[in-house]
């Protein structure tokens, strides 16, 4: 057992695929009850839930567009209504949306990227914090190595949005430390998920892989342990406002 998560309630936004799904499964293995949020990937979310419950874990799925603050408010209320409390929030929902050049960024594309990656975190934290104060809980946000290295071609806004959320957690951490609520981030490197299958050419991924000291792309499971560590009060109770880089040596601050 990495930490004592028995009796804990964990919400994972964007929990249907990739890193979110791996994190949800990992928390369930450690004894937590998991609320899996999805927006469009209902069947995938259901598969993650079923895998957890078939292994004697506890999980339920909750549909919500977390870029919409009203939907987030309902999501948090539904999770607390179902499980009775909220201990840990993993703000994982996010995405590239599409590759658009710097001079071609339209207002609607800007809003879509920032709402998905930044507003979703702000709205989720705003709705969850009152419950986390009660449980002395914590938040773990998914960042990106792009926050430090800058985005690749067409990914400038995505990189900027991840830099924004990795900075935001520092302010949250300072403001809510007095209430016993911690805020941290995990910053994945190049991870083999649908994200890159959809948006990155295979030859580009091969080049990136060759530049990584460990000579491979990461997997969602490679990332899960960092989330468990940061969420565990026994292991990380004196850690707040920090970002852990998980990238095989791709970026070393």
HSE value, Cβ hemisphere, 13 Å, CA-based, for 38: 22
**The one catalytic residue among 38, 110, 158, 172:** 158
CB-facing half-sphere around the CA of 175: CA atoms within 13 A:
8
- Is 227 known to be catalytic? no
CA 167 remoteness from chain centre? 15
Contact 165, 140 (CB under 8 A): no
Beta strands in the chain (DSSP E): 9-12, 33-38, 58-63, 88-91, 138-142, 182-188, 243-246
Q: Which residues pair with 63 in a beta bridge?
A: 38
Positions annotated as catalytic residues are 158
């Amino acid at each position: 057992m990495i930490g004592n998560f028995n009796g804990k309630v964990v919400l994972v936004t964007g929990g249907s695929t990739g890193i979110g799904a791996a994190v949800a499964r990992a928390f369930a293995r450690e004894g937590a009850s998991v609320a899996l949020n999805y927006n469009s990937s209902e069947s995938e979310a259901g598969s993650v839930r079923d895998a957890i419950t078939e292994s004697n874990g506890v999980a339920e799925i909750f549909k919500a567009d977390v870029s919409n603050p009203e939907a987030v408010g309902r999501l948090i209320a539904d999770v607390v209504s179902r499980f009775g409390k909220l201990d840990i929030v993993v703000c994982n929902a996010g995405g590239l949306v599409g590759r658009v050049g710097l001079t071609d960024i339209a207002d609607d594309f800007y809003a879509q990227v920032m709402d998905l990656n930044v507003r979703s975190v702000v709205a989720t934290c705003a709705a969850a914090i009152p419950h986390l104060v009660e449980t002395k809980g914590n938040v773990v946000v998914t960042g990106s190595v792009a926050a430090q290295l800058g985005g690749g071609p067409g990914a400038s806004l995505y990189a900027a949005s991840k830099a924004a959320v990795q900075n935001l957690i520092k302010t949250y951490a300072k403001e809510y430390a007095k209430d016993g609520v911690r805020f941290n981030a995990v910053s994945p490197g190049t991870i083999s998920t649908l994200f890159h299958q959809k948006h990155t050419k295979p030859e580009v991924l091969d080049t990136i892989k060759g530049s990584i000291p460990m000579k491979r792309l990461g997997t969602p499971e490679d990332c899960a342990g960092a989330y468990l560590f940061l969420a565990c009060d026994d292991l990380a109770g004196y850690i707040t406002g920090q970002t852990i880089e998980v990238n095989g040596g791709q970026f070393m601050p």
